[in-house]
Amino acid sequence: MITMATTGRISNDFELQTKDGCTFVRFGLAVNEYYKGENIVTFFSCIAYDTLAIRLQKAKAKKASVIAVTGKFKEHKYTKEGVERTSLQLTILDWTYPPSSSSKKEDGSNDSDAQAAGVPAGGGSESAYEPPYEMLNLDDDDLPF
């Protein structure tokens, strides 16, 4: 099992669904990465079950909301119209709104909305988010492979 954590924007509105007694939501997650000045977007097909799905709905997460997720990653290969394709799938194990420099979120909700829904509010500090590690400036020539 490959477990990964990433932050991205929800790419579609979703509805809580129930099938065979299991509650879930399906949504796309667009993750931006900048490499050599170019914006690269990777799309993940995500699914969240039971209490995680309910938390997403109660927190009013919707299209364009920024969320941080941790999940089980799986690559799914399939053929459509004779063309081999790959889908990146992520089964959500946990999620939260990431720390922000303001308590007001881009989707119109605020930290108190998230806390009322049982979602850890991400920060709300006056300074911008600082990653818990130091970024290294490396050229491709510096890598051993």
pLDDT in tens, 93-145: 999 998 875 545 555 555 544 544 444 444 333 334 444 444 455 555 655 54
Can you tell me the mean pLDDT for 33-57? 93
| Mean of all residue pLDDT scores within the chain | 79
Rounded distance, CA 54 to CA 48, Å? Answer: 9
Q: Which CATH class is domain 2-126?
A: mainly beta
Rounded distance, CA 126 to CA 80, Å? Answer: 48
Q: Which of 84, 72, 92 is nearest to 28 (CA)?
A: 92
Top pLDDT among 23 and 142 is at: 23
Bridge partners (DSSP) listed for residue 42 = 31
Q: What is the predicted pLDDT for the residue at 99?
A: 84
Rounded distance, CA 122 to CA 17, Å? Answer: 27
Domain boundaries, the chain: 2-126
Cα distance between the two ends of the chain: 25
pTM of the model: 0.67
Helix residue ranges, H only, the chain: 50-58, 111-116
